[in-house]
Amino acid sequence: MQLPIAAILLFLLVFPVFGESSPSLPGLMEKSLVGRDLKLGRVLARNAKYTRYYITYYSNDLKISGIMNVPSGKGPFPVLILNHGYINPKIYTNGRGLKREQDYLARRGYIVIHPDYRNHAFSDKDDDVDAGFRLGYVEDAINAVLAVKRSDYPFFDGERIGMLGHSMGGGVVLNVLVTRPELVKAAVLFAPVSADYRDNFSRWLWRRKGNQAIAERILARFGSPESNPEFWGRLSAINYFDKVLAPVMIHHGTADQSVPIDWSKRTDQALKKNGKEVSFYGYPGEPHEFAAAWPAVMERTVKFFDRVVKK
């Protein structure tokens, strides 16, 4: 990727030094985060197995909306935080994304919390989220866990918490694992984006028609991966896999046209190189959302969470 001359000049004039004020995973590691005031709202649905609620909680100063499925019975129940993939905030609706996973996991005895993220559904707005490389979404996922741990609701088992993410949400989970290693007991990734942020920038901003103006602004401010590799490296979870503590399971289809399966293979290999517990499953002919293999994906996922989180 070649940085345009005008962008280079602007970058050198305005941003000659990169400090902790630049978005980075080390910066997020040091940031004080407060998740609090998780509140049940109206009942959205009810069946014999669980009740679905509208919820809100605070991610530092932002109110975040979401949904929560609470299994029927006394509890306390283990908790899973589900992080959805990219859906345009203009069309996103409360609890959208991972709907069948929300149902499946609640029916197997887990409280399922699905945050909407900032700027989505009824959540508060954050005009800087894109300029911050969407690390605000990572804050919202972390603060969902912290809000559970601070809650007085008796049905929560705040010591047994896992996390799942699909696509962009898989990237959110990877960032959680390296910035707050002790936060969750286990993590599952469905077709996650790359743990090397340069891949994501190139695929969805630099090469995608209509997004190049955004890409140019980013390059002008922070430099390209070639001209400023340190900055891009500090955005990439793969460079901090030595910090991961939780076991990880990865699922990816070979026919995924949204996220290349090779990215998951690299994540798997890098975690193993760092001595981490990881299992990787590839599914021949399966697309980004999974199809015929979805029951097998979920069976493996529940067995994994049962072994690591529910035990």
For residue 281, with 0-12 CB atoms within 10 Å meaning exposed, 13-18 middle and 19 or more buried, which class applies? middle
**CA gap 204, 134 in Å, rounded:** 13
Token pair 């072994």 is at which residue?
Answer: 307
The residue that leads in pLDDT, 10 or 235, is: 235
What pTM did the predictor assign? 0.91
Task: Give the rounded percent of residues in the chain with a pLDDT score beyond 70.
Answer: 91
> What pLDDT does residue 8 have?
34
* C-beta of residue 238 within 8 angstroms of C-beta of residue 15: no
Q: Which whole number is the average pLDDT over 154-167?
A: 98
Task: Give the rounded percent of residues in the chain with a pLDDT score beyond 90.
Answer: 83
Q: How far is CA 208 from CA 28, 89, 177, 212, 259, in A?
A: 28, 18, 29, 7, 14
> What pLDDT does residue 204 have?
73
> What pLDDT does residue 9 have?
33
Q: Which whole number is the average pLDDT over 129-149?
A: 94
Token pair 């077709």 is at which residue?
Answer: 191
Nearest Cα residue to 96 out of 112, 77, 120: 120
* CATH of span 33-196+236-310: 3.40.50.1820
pLDDT at 211 over 80: no
Question: Where does the pLDDT of residue 21 fall: very low under 50, low under 70, confident under 90, or very high at 90 and above?
Answer: low
Report pLDDT digits (tens) over 42-78: 999 999 999 999 999 999 999 999 999 999 999 999 9
End-to-end CA distance of the chain: 48
Q: Which whole number is the average pLDDT over 273-284?
A: 98
> What pLDDT does residue 311 have?
83
Task: Say how many C-beta atoms besides its own lie within 10 A of residue 151's C-beta.
Answer: 19
